[in-house]
Amino acid sequence: MTGRWIAALGALLAAMWLGTADARADWLTDLTGPQEPGLLSLGGGMYDFLHNHKAVEGRAEYDFAHGFYFVKPMIGVLGTNKKSAFGYAGFYFDLHLSRHFVLVPNASVGYYHRGNGKNLGQALEFKTGARFDYRFEDASRIGIAFDHISNAGLSKINPGEENILLMFSLPLGSW
């Protein structure tokens, strides 16, 4: 699944460079929308929901307002009721599908602590995923997040796991 996300991101970036400079700028402006504030996202849901190590998950994430072009940094932490935790940092971007609907692809790397949860093979793990948000007029959002965590085959044990969460995002700062 990670390979599909990387291929989709590569195709999007390649498409951005096709056509004239004016057409690229218009396409990008339409898709990435207005300058957004930094967002503090809090959520809850299910960890490893497609497999047999299910757990309740809580998450806090901060999406920075400024980045390079339309790609912006993010940091976050998640924890489960089985004492697993994952702290991570990465990048995201907003794809404004309409005035109120936003798709937020993201990718990050971080440190995984197993606790009493699923053995993902090692401490270094990668998280790729997306959020589908409804954006309110005040820039706050509510959405569904789906992501996959794995070590990308860097260890012999690499079962990976998938999460699904309900996320609430509040505008916070302009960093």
Task: Summarize pLDDT for 43-62 with one digit per residue, the tens.
Answer: 999 999 999 999 999 999 99
Query: Which pLDDT band holds residue 16 (cuts at 50, 70, 90)?
Result: low
Residues 6+ apart with CB under 8 A from 16: 24, 27, 28
Q: What is the CB-side half-sphere exposure of residue 87 using CA atoms within 13 A? A: 2
pTM of this prediction exceeds 0.75: yes
Cβ(173)–Cβ(36) under 8 Å? no
Buried b (16+ CB within 10 A) or exposed e, 133-163: bebeeeebbebebebbbbbeeeeeeeebbbb
Residues 6+ apart with CB under 8 A from 26: none
Protein fold of 2-171? Porin (2.40.160)
Query: Which pLDDT band holds residue 22 (cuts at 50, 70, 90)?
Result: very low
Cβ(55)–Cβ(80) under 8 Å? yes
Residues 6+ apart with CB under 8 A from 131: 41, 102, 103, 104, 106, 143, 144, 145, 146, 167
- Lowest average pLDDT, out of 56-60, 67-71, 85-89, goes to 67-71
Percent of the chain with pLDDT strictly greater than 90: 74
Average pLDDT over residues 24-47: 77
Range list of H helices, 2-49: 2-16, 21-32
Query: Which pLDDT band holds residue 33 (cuts at 50, 70, 90)?
Result: low
Q: Is the dihedral of CA 174, 170, 163, 11 positive or negative?
A: negative
To which residue do tokens 């009493």 refer?
A: 116
How much is the pLDDT for 69? 84
Query: Which pLDDT band holds residue 29 (cuts at 50, 70, 90)?
Result: low
Residues 6+ apart with CB under 8 A from 23: none
Whether residue 4 is predicted with pLDDT greater than 70 in this model: the reply is no
Cβ(139)–Cβ(37) under 8 Å? yes
Whether residue 23 is predicted with pLDDT greater than 50 in this model: the reply is no
